[in-house]
C-alpha cells in the first residue's frame, strides 16, 4: 500500500512539508546564485561574504543543487517532500560537525567559517524538525496518516466507517445550518427560530456544565464553583474574605 494514498494534496501535513521544502530550497538557491555572481574561485579556502556566510564557487554550486532538490521534492509533495527534507537536514548537521574540524586547514573545501558551522547546525535541526514533524513525534493521533500506514489501516478518506460517520455528521448539521442561515437572513419560520434558540440554549447548558466540571476537578468546594451567569463570583468571594 503506497504512502501517497495517505497524504493527498489537500492534507495539512502535505502542505506543511511542501511549503517548508520550497522555502528553504529557494533560499539555498538564492545563496548559491549570489555566490556565483561574485565570480569567486571554485576551490579557494578563503571565501567571500554572502548574506553573512562565507562561500566559494564549490559551496555556491552545491547550494544551488541542494536547493533545487528541495524545490523538486516540494513540487512532488507527500512523503517524498518529508523524507527529502529530513535527510538533507541530517546532512546539514553532519556537514557542520565535519567542517568544524576542517576550519583553517587546507581541507576546508567549502571555505567554511564559524558562521557557516553555526548555520549548518541550526539549518539541520530546522530541516529535521520539518521533515519528521507528524511522523515520528510522540502521542500521534489515531487518524495520523503515518500511524494508520504503520498499522496497515486504510487512509481516513477511504475508511468506510470514517466516511459513514462524516456523512452522518454532515446530514445532522445541514438542517441546523439552514435554520441559522434563515434566522441570519431574517426569513426564518417560527419553527426554525425555535430550533435555533433550543440549540443555543443547549450549547449554553453544555458550557455551564463544562465550567462546573472544571472547578470540581480543580478541587474547588461547592460554594466556590463558578456560575455561568456570574463569572466574577470567585473574585467577589475572595474580596469579601479579605475585607
**C-alpha span between 6 and 17 (Å, rounded):** 14
C-alpha cell at position 67: 536547493
**C-alpha span between 153 and 143 (Å, rounded):** 10
pLDDT given for residue 212 in this prediction: 74
pLDDT given for residue 239 in this prediction: 47
Largest CA-CA distance found in the chain, in angstroms, rounded: 86
pLDDT given for residue 1 in this prediction: 46
pLDDT given for residue 228 in this prediction: 43
pLDDT given for residue 223 in this prediction: 54
Angle between helices 78-102 and 57-76 (to 10 degrees): 160
Q: Could you read off the pLDDT tens digit of each residue along the chain, which spans 243 residues? A: 465 555 666 667 788 888 989 999 999 999 999 888 888 788 877 878 888 888 888 889 999 999 999 999 999 887 888 889 999 999 999 999 998 988 888 888 888 889 999 999 999 999 998 888 877 766 655 555 655 655 555 555 445 555 555 556 666 677 778 878 888 888 888 888 888 888 888 888 888 888 777 766 666 555 555 444 454 444 444 444 444
**C-alpha span between 145 and 82 (Å, rounded):** 13
Identify which of 20, 2, 9, 5 has the alpha carbon closest to the alpha carbon of residue 133: 20
What's this model's pTM, rounded to 2 decimal places? 0.59
pLDDT given for residue 130 in this prediction: 87
pLDDT given for residue 54 in this prediction: 85
Number of neighbouring beta carbons within 10 Å of residue 235: 11
pLDDT given for residue 213 in this prediction: 74
pLDDT given for residue 24 in this prediction: 92
Amino acid at each position: 500500500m503506497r504512502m501517497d494514498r495517505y497524504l493527498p494534496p489537500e492534507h495539512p501535513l502535505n502542505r506543511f512539508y511542501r511549503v517548508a521544502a520550497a522555502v528553504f530550497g529557494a533560499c539555498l538557491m538564492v545563496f548559491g546564485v549570489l555566490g556565483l555572481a561574485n565570480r569567486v574561485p571554485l576551490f579557494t579556502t578563503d571565501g567571500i561574504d554572502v548574506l553573512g556566510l562565507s562561500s566559494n564557487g564549490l559551496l555556491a554550486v552545491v547550494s544551488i543543487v541542494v536547493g533545487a532538490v528541495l524545490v523538486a521534492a516540494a513540487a512532488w509533495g507527500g512523503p517524498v517532500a518529508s523524507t527529502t527534507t529530513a535527510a538533507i537536514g541530517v546532512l546539514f548537521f553532519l556537514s557542520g560537525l565535519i567542517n568544524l574540524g576542517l576550519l583553517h586547514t587546507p581541507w576546508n573545501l567549502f571555505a567554511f567559517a564559524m558562521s557557516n558551522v553555526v548555520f549548518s547546525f541550526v539549518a539541520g535541526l530546522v530541516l529535521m524538525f520539518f521533515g519528521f514533524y507528524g511522523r515520528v513525534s510522540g502521542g500521534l493521533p489515531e487518524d495520523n496518516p503515518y500511524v494508520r500506514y504503520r498499522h496497515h489501516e486504510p487512509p481516513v478518506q477511504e475508511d468506510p466507517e470514517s466516511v459513514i460517520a462524516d456523512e452522518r455528521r454532515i446530514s445532522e448539521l445541514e438542517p441546523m445550518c439552514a435554520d441559522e442561515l434563515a434566522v441570519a437572513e431574517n426569513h426564518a419560520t417560527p419553527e426554525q427560530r425555535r430550533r435555533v434558540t433550543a440549540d443555543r440554549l443547549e450549547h449554553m447548558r453544555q458550557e455551564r456544565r463544562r465550567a462546573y466540571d472544571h472547578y470540581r476537578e480543580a478541587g474547588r468546594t461547592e460554594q466556590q464553583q463558578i456560575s455561568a451567569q456570574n463569572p466574577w463570583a470567585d473574585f467577589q468571594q475572595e474580596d469579601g474574605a479579605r475585607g
